[in-house]
Amino acid sequence: MAQTTSYLQAQMENPITVVSPNFMAPSPVDLTIVKLMSFSGGDFNVIDVNGNVMFKVKGKYMSLHARRVLHDAAGNPILSFQRKRMSLHERWVVFRGDSSNSKDIIFSAKRSSYIQFKTSLDVFLAYNENEHVCDFKVKGSWLERSCTINAGDGTTIIAQMHKKHTLNSIVLGKDTFAVTVFPNVDYAFIVALVVILHEINRPSSQSTNN
């Protein structure tokens, strides 16, 4: 508990903004990310603890790059992300709004290594062009749906996710994830990372069809 408290205190002192400061809160934010059944295979709803829809992720049907767009509750595009073709490490590139222009890149994420026994994702902000050291890291166990998102030093946790079992998810066959975003951390950024992590770990037969 003391270790977790120190993480919370650190985030209060050092806000992390990647997408926008509009998506930050002074206390932990608990979100549920629900994968929906859709033609594109890439649709999600993001719900808060009161059942309100915070974001919607919509997949572009028949997109060659497995393109996804994150919308706010009003339907405005916040960011878009797509899989980079011919990438051994399953790199995804994230753009501001509904853009796909390189000048609008916010960050990218990729597997830390081609072969993995544990989940490990490296995240690089747009200005980190040499990529010698990642800015954020996702690590844990995808099979157990238990992962942490860390700042670049690898020790400061900024969000945690785990599998959430509900009667509705079992009946409909949905993937449902619970995510706790730490104080003063950009939760739109965290949602994008969790969706990318899900897409990277989809069976290849599903990924290549979208």
Does 65 map to a domain?
yes
Q: 155 in a domain, yes or no?
A: yes
Give the residue numbers spanning the domain of 63.
Answer: 2-20+28-201
In a domain, 209, yes or no: no
Q: What is the pLDDT of residue 198?
A: 86
* Tens digits of pLDDT across the chain (210 residues): 444 444 444 544 678 999 999 999 999 999 998 888 765 556 899 999 998 999 999 887 555 557 899 999 999 999 999 988 766 668 999 999 999 999 999 999 998 766 656 778 899 999 998 999 999 999 887 666 778 999 986 789 999 988 766 555 444 445 788 899 999 999 999 999 999 988 887 755 344 333
Chain centroid to CA 30: how far? 14
Q: How far apart are CA 73 and CA 54, in angstroms?
A: 5
Handedness of CA 92, 122, 48, 172 (dihedral sign): positive
Whether 112 and 119 have beta carbons less than 8 Å apart is answered as no
Domain-embedded: residue 207: no
Give pLDDT, residue 175.
Answer: 74
Q: Contact at 8 Å (CB) between 57 and 205?
A: no
13 domain-assigned: yes
Is 206 inside any structural domain? no
- pLDDT score at 5: 46
The answer to whether position 191 is within a domain reads: yes
Count how many domains the chain has: 1
pLDDT given for residue 154 in this prediction: 74
H helices of the chain, where? Answer: 2-13, 167-172, 187-200, 204-207
> Which CATH number covers residue 163?
2.40.160.200
For 175, the 3-state DSSP assignment is: coil
